[in-house]
Amino acid sequence: MLYSELFASALKKLDRNEMATAVEVLIESSFAINRSQFWMGRNQTIRDANGLRRFRRAFARLLAGEPLAYILGKKEFYGETFAVSPAVLIPRPETELLVEKALELLGQRPARILDIGSGSGCIAITLARLTRSHVVALEKSRPALRVLKRNIERFGVQSRVRPLAGDLYPGRAAAFRMIVANPPYLSRQDWLEAPREIRLHEPKTALVSGRAGTEILARIIAGAPRFLEPGSHLLLEIGQGQRRALCGFLKAAGLRELECVRDYAGIERVVVAQME
């Protein structure tokens, strides 16, 4: 069988041409070849039996609706590749907006940062790498913490990113110049309406907050004054239509909203607030 025949027969089974890139990536990773090797050699006969077995196993998972990132065990975020497993949320492009805003506010000055609900560590590690800041990466889920630690080692940032098990905030008093969080913010109803691929494969505890969706955001905001000095920043990723509720929580906690960044779909996505 030629590589091009394998590609075409896989696409036929998927019956969705938009999955062409996913199939191509699976072929490349299964046979350990790069993009140009695939395209240059697509009319060559496949001789790598192990590669073919790997492809068939991976393709069966894709056919069953598993996200490509979990099959490959990795996902790009802010130009770098992070290890992922079904224990963590797959990093999203919207979250890069939060990182961008944080970098803008931090400038060149290293700071002490708290990342709440660190998951794969994509936010914490990116900020630590690009600003030489010290980040406490707090996570409640033990399986997620294992992926987080793997990424900390992979990027060699053990001295600047400290993984910490906990429920939203560290047990001990500490002061941070910035708190960032992409917490669970879906309501139970949002979850029921979420795409099947998400519901079946991504961790519900990473996505669902409660009945309203804003419960965890409210707890983060209420707890923030104990950990932020005046003038310090709180950056939160939020769900569609949650900004108004958030403004109320911020005011009650003595924080001032500075800005709300819209995502690529025009949805209010990242709230930037400052401790009065």
Ligand X SMILES: C[S@@+](CC[C@H](N)C(=O)[O-])C[C@H]1O[C@@H](n2cnc3c(N)ncnc32)[C@H](O)[C@@H]1O
Under 8 Å between Cβ of 133 and 103:
no
Residue 95 touches ligand X, criterion: CB under 6 A: yes
Pairing of strands 268-275, 228-237: antiparallel
Tell me how many residues contact ligand X (CB under 6 A). 24
Q: What is the SS3 assignment for 235?
A: strand
Q: Which one of 163, 184, 213, 239 is in contact with ligand X (CB under 6 A)?
A: 184
Residue type, 163: P
Which residues does residue 82 pair with via DSSP β-bridges, in sequence order?
75
Residue 182 touches ligand X, criterion: CB under 6 A: yes
Under 8 Å between Cβ of 188 and 211:
yes
Give me the half-sphere count of Cα atoms (radius 13 Å) on the Cβ side of residue 161: 31
Residue 139 touches ligand X, criterion: CB under 6 A: yes
Residue 62 or 236: the one with the smaller Cβ distance to ligand X is 236
Q: What is the SS3 assignment for 171?
A: coil
Q: In the bound complex, which residue of the shown chain has the CB atom lying closest to ligand X?
A: 117
Residue 126 touches ligand X, criterion: CB under 6 A: no
Q: Which one of 123, 161, 224, 234 is in contact with ligand X (CB under 6 A)?
A: 123
Residue 118 touches ligand X, criterion: CB under 6 A: yes
Residue 30 touches ligand X, criterion: CB under 6 A: no
Residue 212 C-beta: closest distance to ligand X, Å? 15
Q: Which one of 132, 134, 140, 149 is in contact with ligand X (CB under 6 A)?
A: 140
- How many CB atoms sit inside 10 A of residue 17's CB? 9
